[in-house]
Amino acid sequence: MGEKTVPSRSFQWQFVTFFRILFASHLLYSGGAYIFFGWVPSAFFNPASPVGHFMVELDKVGLYPLVKYIEFTLGLLALANRFTPLVAVMEFPITVMIAYLNIVVEGSHGARHYYTGVQELVINGMVLLGYGAYYRSMLNIRNEPRWLWQTPDSKPTENSNGTTAMVLFFVGFMALVMAASWFMGSADRRLPPRDWLPPLASFIAMLALRFASRPATGDRA
């Protein structure tokens, strides 16, 4: 019998692991430089940089530090190969923002910005691709609801009183929405349609779908 290829030594494993560690190192460097040394990009101090203005405003409302702490935490998880598919997804919106700011907003100010933007997209993208099998069920065109503790191919839990329970839930939900809208809103903004109309329309639409998909009487066992 021929020797079997050890999965953890295959090209796929080496390729994806390289990008995972590279991905982690970028996150740790970016987050750690700010957390431990207070480092910020030079654009912070450039009044002519639109990205600098953007980051300064993020810093004023506390979002810039939050992003850096998130990046550092995600970097630790990626380095330890813990929850890596989730880490790659969580970081991707930040990556897209970085790429947009560098390529679209700051690109005309120097070629370095193009390199930074493309680099971040490629590294994050390679990790997403390398763990892509874990996202496969999310790429189905249509999916049925399943709780977090269920598998995608599991059968839904049957409940003869499901509609009654849902009506009771909706009544309580709407009571909470209406109370919050009334007591937490200013005098001129109590119970605006945007507070109560979307949940009411959603509930009616859900009921319509529920009864439209109900099997005919003759089809029941």
Position 52 scores a pLDDT of 86
- Give the distance, in angstroms, between the CA of residue 9 and the centroid of all CA atoms in the same chain: 31
Position 85 scores a pLDDT of 97
170 lies in the same domain as 71 = no
Q: Is residue 180 part of a domain?
A: yes
Region 72-77: mean pLDDT is 98
The DSSP line for 51-105 is HHHHHHHHHHTTHHHHHHHHHHHHHHHHHTTSSHHHHHHHHHHHHHHHHHIIIII
Phi-psi region of 14 (alpha: psi -120 to 50; beta: other; left: phi over 0): alpha
Domain boundary among 81, 106, 139: 139
Position 181 scores a pLDDT of 93
Q: Are 200 and 174 in contact (CB under 8 A)?
A: yes
132 lies in the same domain as 180 = no
Indicate the pLDDT class of residue 196, thresholds 50, 70 and 90. Answer: very high
pLDDT per residue over 110-164, tens digit each?
677 788 889 999 999 999 999 999 998 888 898 888 888 888 888 877 776 788 9
Q: Are 127 and 16 in contact (CB under 8 A)?
A: yes
> Is residue 49 scored above 80 in pLDDT?
yes
CA distance 27 to 202: 40
Sign of torsion, CA 138 129 124 120?
negative
Region 5-27: mean pLDDT is 88
Q: Are 85 and 135 in contact (CB under 8 A)?
A: yes
23 lies in the same domain as 118 = yes
Q: Is residue 145 part of a domain?
A: no
Q: Are 190 and 178 in contact (CB under 8 A)?
A: no
Q: Are 71 and 23 in contact (CB under 8 A)?
A: no
104 lies in the same domain as 210 = no
Give this prediction's pTM. Answer: 0.81
Q: Are 65 and 59 in contact (CB under 8 A)?
A: yes
186 lies in the same domain as 112 = no
169 lies in the same domain as 135 = no
Which backbone phi and psi does 107 adopt, to 5 degrees? -55, -40
pLDDT per residue over 183-194, tens digit each?
997 888 889 999
Position 4 scores a pLDDT of 58
171 lies in the same domain as 110 = no
> Is residue 219 scored above 80 in pLDDT?
no
Question: 19 is in which domain, residue-wise?
Answer: 7-139
Position 221 scores a pLDDT of 44
Q: Is residue 148 part of a domain?
A: no
CA distance 79 to 134: 18
> Is residue 63 scored above 90 in pLDDT?
yes
> Is residue 5 scored above 70 in pLDDT?
no
127 lies in the same domain as 208 = no
Query: CB burial class (10 A; 0-12, 13-18, 19+) of residue 89?
Result: middle
